[in-house]
Amino acid sequence: MLRHKDIWRGIDRLAKKHGLTASGLARKAHLDPTTFNKSKRIAPGGKARWPSTESIAKILEATGEPLAGFVGLTGDSGRPSRRLPLLGYARAGAAGHFDDAGYPAGRGWDEVELPGIEDDGAYALKITGDSMEPAYRAGDIIIVSPAAAIRRGDRVVVRTRDGEVMAKLLLRRSARRTELRSLNDRHPDRSLAAREIAWIARIVWVTQ
């Protein structure tokens, strides 16, 4: 998941990429020149302050940088951007897109450039609808890693043998059952028998 320091790193790198200071980038986007100053990144009480989504949208428009390119600029220097298979969340339940272990398979996958993930089998799902709000909203992209270890409290994607795909919070997992909590209070929690689950994989990143 993108952290506070990742977003500010991306803003600084975007400015440098276009030969600008943080203040110069703000001016180019018709923002207050102090919008991205170091002093604005921490609130008076010491709490981390996030840049607004509006300000980020304006600097992307001003520089012509695509969202995927900006996300690539947020990564650690040791984790360069790479292209990942991308599938619309609504299509993930259709047959042929995954193998038995939950890795991408078959045709119909697009690609998106995002910060590198160690798992070579990682892939991206683009969220549609509002069933996962407020955790994930339509247009968000989640990165799923089939190889990542899964622990209680992790957000996961689960695919049932009937083709249902869901993103939930893992409450408990035993040899017999998996208990899942909905990310949206308007949708029910789930309890699935082991035999009902085709695969389960951890969500390791989200771009919002």
Do 175 and 194 fall within a single domain?
A: yes
What is the pTM (predicted TM-score) of this model? Answer: 0.62
Do 92 and 42 fall within a single domain?
A: no
Q: How many domains does the chain have?
A: 2
Last residue of a domain, one of 74, 107, 132: 74
Last residue of a domain, one of 32, 50, 74: 74
Structure tokens at 71: 């996300």
Q: Encode pLDDT of 77-88 as tens digits.
A: 445 567 889 999
Closest CA to 117 of 14, 201, 4: 201
Residue type at 27? R
Do 95 and 191 fall within a single domain?
A: yes
Last residue of a domain, one of 17, 39, 74: 74
Angle, alpha carbons 197-199-205 (nearest 5°):
130
Question: What is the predicted pLDDT for the residue at 78?
Answer: 44
CATH number, domain of 190, equals 2.10.109.10
DSSP state of 46: S
Angle, alpha carbons 78-158-128 (nearest 5°):
80
Q: Encode pLDDT of 93-131 as tens digits.
A: 888 899 888 989 888 899 887 655 667 788 999 998 888
Note down the domain range covering 124: 81-207
Structure tokens at 22: 């943080």
Of the ranges 3-17, 19-33, 183-197, which one carries the lowest mean pLDDT score? 3-17
CATH number, domain of 64, equals 1.10.260
User: What percent of the chain stands above pLDDT 90?
Assistant: 48
Do 16 and 41 fall within a single domain?
A: yes
Residue type at 40? K
Q: Is 77 helix (H, G, I), strand (E, B) or coil?
A: coil
